[in-house]
Homo-oligomer: A and B are copies of this chain.
């Protein structure tokens, strides 16, 4: 399926619609197979000890998979997350940004399903795995 938004368009969309991200989240690459995004880790994302918090990883996966969906259906849709499942598998490396690699597994008329692996930047093994479902509102006639 052809892309409706490239990385530049997705980043511009996020800057307007999600100003609370404050530029910490960036789509690096998107094509028909996958999307890669980065979270610039700041103090706000850390747990005591310097590791990235679970909710920050959840937020990264949520925005990244949302962007995969938007890359296919365009910026008009008000997709909302209805379900998420996440496995926290390793402790993120302190002081490293996070990288999310996402795939779209289903794009139906009313539901989309995607998944993400999250890595500490430069590490080969994922720190978390996440799958999410989005409800896509009906197109207006």
Contact of A83 among B53, B87, B125 (CB under 8 A): B87
**Is A54 within 8 A of B84, CB to CB?**
yes
Inter-chain contacts of A82 with B (CB < 8 A): 87-89, 111, 133
**Is A84 within 8 A of B86, CB to CB?**
yes
CB proximity of A130 to chain B, nearest CB, Å:
9
Kindly state the separation between the CA atoms of A32 and B53 in the bound complex, as whole angstroms: 28
A contact set with B: CB distance below 8 Å: 17-18, 20, 44, 46-48, 53-56, 58-59, 62, 80-91, 105-106, 108, 110-111, 113, 115, 117, 125-126, 129, 131, 133, 135
Q: Which 9 A-B pairs have the closest CB atoms?
A: A85-B85, A55-B59, A89-B106, A58-B58, A83-B83, A84-B86, A54-B81, A87-B113, A83-B87
